[in-house]
Amino acid sequence: MTPEEFLAFSIDAGFVMVMLSIGLGFYRIAKGESLADRVVALDMITVTIVAFCGLYAILSGAETFLDVAIVIALVGFLATVAMARFAERSVIRRREAEREKDQ
Amino acid sequence: MNEILAGLLILSGGVFALVATLGIIRLPDVLTRMHASTKAGTLAGTLILTAVAVRLPEISVTAKCLAAVLFLFLTAPLAAHMIGRASYRDAKQRQEKPALLDSVEGDNSGDIVRHIPEKHLKQTQRSLHLEPPELSGEKSSTPENEKPDKPPYE
């Protein structure tokens, strides 16, 4: 196996593993159990999509995909923080509502 | 040589991405899932971006890869911290059966730190060498004077 063939095989195998990982992450988003579980899965999927963009940059040789990867990492971080704040606020809101009901 | 190094980095990155997903699916509660996804997922992204920098040896590509990796390393702990705090407060609010008791200083009133589903509860307590919690209305199955010397997990 020449080095080029090994690299091509690695890229194919990497695509399979990364896509499998994204697909199985969606299983956790669908199943959930709690909002925090879904946010964790979403965070993992974002990082995996960054890895996907890196793989595609190697495959195509175009460095534009790295810009895409940086932007996705940025937006994914903001989304995770916003969702985590939302989950936290909803817990506090529920607690306050129950306290008002008790009074 | 270049190609082989990049291929090895890609393969290990893909394996770590799969490990992160396996952790997200198989582990019992939010904090342990976060432990899997934050560390293994970030390592997967880092390894594959390093492979890009190895494969395309130009200054601009390397700089972009470095920026993306630095950004991942900066944001992953922040995001994990916020999700962890949200789930901690959520578990306190739900008041499920205590799995592990809080040992944080100043907060030792028996607050629930982690919510662990019923089917995993016994195993987790055994693996952490904890006795199962005494629940009100339930008597301990072992009498006081016949307490075994060996811990129950052996």
Task: Note the ipTM here.
Answer: 0.88
B15 touches A: beta carbon within 8 Å: yes
Helices in chain A by DSSP H: which ranges? 3-31, 35-60, 64-102
| Domains in chain A, number | 1
B114 touches A: beta carbon within 8 Å: no
Mean pLDDT (chain A) is: 89
Structure tokens at A49: 């999509």
Higher model confidence: residue A2 or residue B117?
A: A2
Q: Where are the domains of chain B?
A: 2-96
Q: Which of B2, B49, B69 is nearest to A53 (CA)?
A: B49
Rounded to an integer, what distance in angstroms lies between the CA atom of residue B104 and that of residue B125? 18
Q: Supply the CATH number for residue A21's domain.
A: 1.10.287
Residue B99 has pLDDT above 50, yes or no: no
| DSSP symbol at B105 | T
On chain A, the residues whose CB falls within 8 A of the CB of B49 are: 50-51, 54, 66, 69
For residue B97, what pLDDT band results from cuts at 50, 70 and 90?
A: very low
Q: Measure A79 CA to nearest chain B CA, in Å.
A: 10
| DSSP symbol at B148 | -
Residue A75 belongs to domain spanning: 3-102
A6 touches B: beta carbon within 8 Å: yes
Which is it for the CA torsion A49, B83, B50, A5, positive or negative?
negative
pLDDT digits 0-9 by tens, B123-132: 666 666 655 5
CA atoms within 13 A on the CB side of A2: 2
